[in-house]
Amino acid sequence: MQEERILKSENDTIEFAKQFAPKLKKGDVVALYGELGTGKTFFTQQLCKFLGVRENVSSPSYVLMNEYMGTCVIRHLDLYRIDTAEEVLELGLYDLYEDAITIIEWPEIAEGMMPENTIHIYFEFINSDRRVKIRK
Ligand SMILES: Nc1ncnc2c1ncn2[C@@H]1O[C@H](COP(=O)(O)OP(=O)(O)OP(=O)(O)O)[C@@H](O)[C@H]1O
Ligand SMILES: [Mg+2]
């Protein structure tokens, strides 16, 4: 199943996150693809807010993984700085999925390590807008 949306502003992204959040449950994995600055972290921040996280959600590009408590545990990863699949394994991703909602930016390096039912979201610049494609 594939769905497409045009996000003309941050408000559109906020609305998208608001509609998407209630569809998520513990154990779900969301993979966010797209060039630098396409809005993966911004979307995650909004998503976390609608999932009940009250603290500030920051980009995990340097720390690799942040953990929050909302309606359940939410883990936010950014694999941009990871070069090998072995390093992904060292994060222990497999053991982490079950008890949380896992959101992964730059997930390409972990392609074979995400569950079958992962929700893939592709962010793209289209002129001055963003487009997202959602694939389940
Ligand atoms: N739909 C939108 N319209 C306009 N600006 C947006 C939209 N979505 C996000 N932004 C803005 O784009 C900027 C960059 O977004 P963000 O940091 O989320 O990108 P990213 O995809 O996480 O990049 P990186 O790959 O570096 O982690 C932010 O300042 C954010 O506010
Ligand atoms: Mg980011």
Reply yes or no on whether the pLDDT at 1 is more than 80: no
Q: Are 72 and 26 in contact (CB under 8 A)?
A: yes
Estimate to the nearest angstrom the gap between the alpha carbon of 55 and the chain centroid: 17
DSSP class of residue 57 equals P
Residue-level pLDDT at 94: 85
Cα 2 to ligand 2 centre (Å): 23
Ligand 1 within 6 A of CB of 76: no
The DSSP secondary-structure symbol of 116 reads T
Q: Which pLDDT does position 22 carry in this prediction?
A: 98
Segment 76-106, tens digit of pLDDT: 999 999 999 999 999 888 889 999 999 999 9
- Test site for ligand 1: of 41, 45, 127, most ligand atoms within 8 A of the Cβ: 41
Q: Is 11 in the pocket of ligand 1 (CB under 6 A)?
A: no
- What pLDDT score was predicted for residue 95? 87
CA distances from 5 to 8, 13, 92, 93, 124 (A): 10, 10, 33, 29, 11
Opening angle at CA 67, ends 66 and 72, nearest 5:
150
pLDDT at 135: 97
Kindly give the number of the ligand 1 atom that is closest to the alpha carbon of 59. 27
What's the alpha-carbon Rg for the chain, to the nearest Å?
A: 14
- In the chain the domains, ranked by start, together with CATH numbers, are 2-135 (3.40.50.300)
Give the whole-angstrom CA distance, residue 53 versus residue 20.
15
Determine the pLDDT at residue 129. Answer: 96
pLDDT band at 27 (very low <50, low <70, confident <90, very high): very high
Task: Determine the pLDDT at residue 93.
Answer: 86
Q: What is the pLDDT of residue 33?
A: 98
Q: What is the mean pLDDT of residues 14-35?
A: 98
Indicate the pLDDT class of residue 107, thresholds 50, 70 and 90.
very high
Please give the distance of CA 79 from its chain centroid, rounded to a whole number: 11
| Residue of 9, 10, 109 best suited for mutating to test ligand 1, as the one with most atoms within 8 Å of CB | 10
Q: What is the pLDDT of residues 33-76, one digit of tens each?
A: 999 999 999 999 999 999 999 999 999 999 999 999 999 999 99
